[in-house]
Chains A and B, each alone.
Chain A
């Protein structure tokens, strides 16, 4: 589903050339739950941005559902993001002046859906995260865990082929975090691939596979134990 070969990222400024990511290969199959771990500043965010088509890479090739994304225009990439990828962020990133319904509906607005279709999808997604009865509320009226559920609903509403979660539990206490993780697990079981970046090794352990990034070098690990070691 997602196939990256020899991807590398180099930042060029006037004086310095920084190798943010060394060339790497990564293959994620449909239905997989992959965790990406590593310390701050290791290149995790760059990896996430490249995977999410938010940033260009310097070398290599990247196929998303058998489509080469290397030379796509901004418009085509926007469309791919909209249709194929669901984003989940550490700080939820809900728009405070929109209610839950409007927040979840937001990505659907950039696709040619009828109002009825949009409504069905929003209600579906909110049902999946258990907040359908609060769709007229505003983000600030919810707890952190609930806000993240809304964000997950927003990611699901467009039926993407995979979810890209950036520290989804980073801003939550552990009980809330567990709730979010089990929700993600359920979603994965229902068929959506997930790529999750996290600090938290305990949460990472719940994934099928773990990828580690350290000083710009990406390595695949068979189990959590290797990372800990």
Chain B
């Protein structure tokens, strides 16, 4: 029977090609617009470390100037999202969490040891500690992270991103090769596989949707090298420091380092915060931390929200597109009314020869489903086109944001079928109400 209805639907669509085309086209356009904006927004708001984001926390301390708050956010005093060198190294030395890492920044001229010095390029670097990789589930193509020993010694070893390895070593297994970073020789001990946490949550929000920095090396080695660049990351200071070299910064109350911890379970959060508060209390007794204490830990989702990583423009766009889809569906619904109205005589006849209302409803429901399905398939194609265009318009964002995964594709089709069916209910109801006697004279 279902097959019969589908055959009837196909015949009916063929009979009024313009009307059917208009219905399918409006649905397709609405679905495409909704799914393009939804895809971008969905990809932007993904969980960057699935399965772990509940247990990863960044630590913020109330170490600021007793005379003046750090800043006002939403009408209330706020504390920095960065940490001072002394606090980061103190907490790191305590190792009170399951895992912890310090995340810093630096930039320097970089080249492969074999390349002439003229080929060195200005490169943004990521000094951090060895736990960074396991905490953020970073996949390795070759080699492995450096060790705790390397961190304590400040070994001159480097982990390259896959892309950096392609630039410097044509994508070959470069373990043991040498890279010149700012005049110092670093040995490659690891190459990452494809790794693109979206959003890139662990530092500032400005580049959350671009590629991670491509060179990682022990934080301690950048300290040993006296490396400090204030211009490729944020440094906030109080107390009249001369920001001229690393020694000055290390001794200062300037905040510039991100500090993340991994706990064994999300429930240990309060226990860990208690430890942070007791650390702050110790510091207070030593004369630091004189402001009201509002130390805090934030998990990944909380920090993404706090840091306003997902732009509100995107969410507005989704709402706009959804309203647009409703306009399209209303349009398609009024076309459906017209269409079913035109079929009044056929309905009357079918009712006369014994079709019940339910039979009629089924028949038109099948037609609606086919229209919804066609709208979905064409909408999916349009959405792909739309995402392609979006990827070009937003060329500075990572193109992975504009990729639909399988479930989004299914969602596209599903949304189209479901919404068409929903908006088809009333026209179908009306079609069923046609009296079997009323139309017979005028088929």
Contacts and interface: CB of A to CB of B under 8 A. Distances in A.
Do any CB atoms of chain A lie under 8 A from CB atoms of chain B in the complex? yes
Interface of A: 45, 49, 52, 54-55, 74-75, 78-83, 87, 89-95, 97-98, 106-107, 109-111, 154, 158, 166
Q: Which of B350, B353, B437, B440 has most A Cβ within 10 Å?
A: B353
B15 A97 contact: yes
A79 B356 CA distance: 7
Contacts of B350: 106, 110
A98 B11 contact: yes
A86 to B, nearest CB: 8
A102 to B, nearest CB: 9
Contacts of A94: 443
Nearest to B439: A93
B354 interface: yes
A107 B15 contact: no
Interface in B410-443: 435-437, 440-443
Interface in B9-29: 11-12, 14-15
B345 interface: yes
Given A74-B357, A95-B346, 19 more contacts: A45-B437, A52-B352, A54-B351, A54-B435, A55-B435, A55-B437, A75-B358, A78-B354, A78-B359, A83-B354, A87-B353, A89-B440, A89-B443, A92-B443, A93-B349, A97-B11, A98-B11, A110-B353, A110-B359
Given A54-B352, A106-B350, A110-B359, A49 B15 contact: no
A6 B184 CA distance: 111
Contacts of A158: 354
Interface of B: 1, 4, 11-12, 14-15, 345-346, 349-359, 435-437, 440-443
A166 B440 contact: yes
B443 A91 contact: yes
Contacts, number: 71
Given A109-B4, A110-B359, A93 B354 contact: no
A166 B349 CA distance: 13
B354 A82 contact: yes
A135 B133 CA distance: 74
Nearest to A48: B437
Contacts of A81: 352-354, 436
B12 A97 contact: yes
A155 B42 CA distance: 58
Which 3 interchain pairs have the tightest Cβ spacing?
A: A82-B354, A54-B437, A78-B356
Contacts of A49: 437
Given A54-B436, A109-B4, A166-B440, A154 B14 contact: no
B435 A82 contact: no
B436 to A, nearest CB: 5
Contacts of A74: 356-357
Contacts of B352: 52, 54, 81, 87
Q: Which of B345, B352, B358 has most A Cβ within 10 Å?
A: B352
Contact of B355 (A83, A110, A154): A110
Q: Which of B345, B435, B443 has most A Cβ within 10 Å?
A: B443
Nearest to A82: B354
Q: Which of A45, A87, A95 has most B Cβ within 10 Å?
A: A95
B15 A93 contact: no
Contacts of A95: 346, 349
Contact of A78 (B15, B349, B355, B442): B355
B339 to A, nearest CB: 14
Nearest to A46: B437
A182 B4 CA distance: 34
Q: Which of B4, B440, B442 has most A Cβ within 10 Å?
A: B440
A55 B439 CA distance: 13
B353 A82 contact: yes
A169 B309 CA distance: 77
Nearest to B438: A54
Contacts of B441: 89-91
B311 to A, nearest CB: 51
Given A93-B443, A95-B346, A107 B353 contact: yes
A52 B356 CA distance: 14
Contacts of B1: 109
A93 B358 CA distance: 22
A110 B437 contact: no
A112 B352 CA distance: 18
Contact of A75 (B11, B353, B356, B435): B356
